[in-house]
Structure 1
Amino acid sequence: MIDLYTWITPNGLKVSIALEEFGLDYRPHTIDITRGDQFSPEYRKINPGSKIPAIIDHDTGVTLSDSSAILLYLAEKTGRLLPASGPARIEAVEWLFWQAGGFGPTLGHAHTFLTYNPGKAPFAEALFAGETRRLYGTLEARLAGREHIAGDYSIADIAIWPWVSRFQRHVIDLGDFPKVQRWYLAMAGRAPVKRGYAVPHVTGEIPLP
């Protein structure tokens, strides 16, 4: 059994979707970051960094935070959704790290400036609007002639998709990126993705372009 400590953010959704895809038994625990639950003494014992998500795997005794690290751990635990070795594994890890180092952080800043604080910092808005479109363009180019981001369906797809699901907050029309839109809709139709999207609670239907 795995305890999942999470909230309704892209980083949280990555792990709940992965747990559903892997078919692992887990218990979700709500860490409401809008109320500051992540700073509670109880949660800090699990993750001193006060970020979500985090897991405790009672089968192995592992406590782990950082969504990308958790995805790698779960893939290796199950032997699924990540090639065991060779170039295919490196390719999937490359795109997992692309999400962790660029796509996710940039889109998180886009949320802050473009959706939650429009008009307050024009330079930052222009910077992150431009970077957001550039990164969507990178993803569009990557998906040319590919069904998935790195060979077969993998944790790279699972890591990137929840960020794209916030396309409205990025002020992005997915119609401008038809290959991303095709991939996004195919992912949105997967039953495990739908279940994972509703953890720790339902916030509405998956956004559709």
Structure 2
Amino acid sequence: MIVKADDPKAKDLILSFLRDGKIVFAPTDTIYGLLARAGSKEAVERLYNIRRPSGKPFLVLLGDKSQAYLFDLLIKPWQLDILDLHVTVVFQKRTSLPLYLTRGRKSIGLRLLKEGVFLKDILIRLGDVVVAPSANPEGQKPASCVEEAMEYFGDSVDLYVDAGRLEGKPSTVVRVVGNGIRPIREGNVPFEHILNFWKKLKGGKKNG
């Protein structure tokens, strides 16, 4: 099924599909992604089968920063402010999270959606977070439009949300280790900007 992003019914339709454990192709804050509700093991496992057979963990999109507390993370409260840069941040976890989300890893990647982004209020209304890899088979170029995504995935995706052609960079990825931060992949936000922001957070003595 295809729906235009500017269709008045689009957001309610996306919400319904995610609640029902379906897979949705939709614009994120960077490029198109494939979305599955994180609380649905069946949906997440299905997404791994069609998107990432290697089993490398998916990042998780947050509609609100408070949703980070759904995860028991080995961090200090001030460190969550790095999410305000809207980059993907890999945090160490304190206790066991479901294996279907972490794939046995000791960390999980989170990204907070910007204000005004199409998906943000949908996730807040959903009351859950979503896993959201880019819309491409592992190792291939991310789809920049519905037509490319349909060539990749066909009927394996339940709902396609058409927002036109989206060309852009994927999110920058960094890892929090203790009181430090390490670059993993540069994308939409330069590492230098992130490192400077982190230094200011540390200098604010929030880590008391």
Given the two structures, how large is their TM-score scaled by the length of structure 2?
0.28
Between structures 1 and 2, the one with greater strand share: 2
Between structures 1 and 2, the one with greater helix share: 1
Given the two structures, how large is their TM-score scaled by the length of structure 1?
0.28
Greater RCO structure (CA 8 Å; 6+ sep): 2
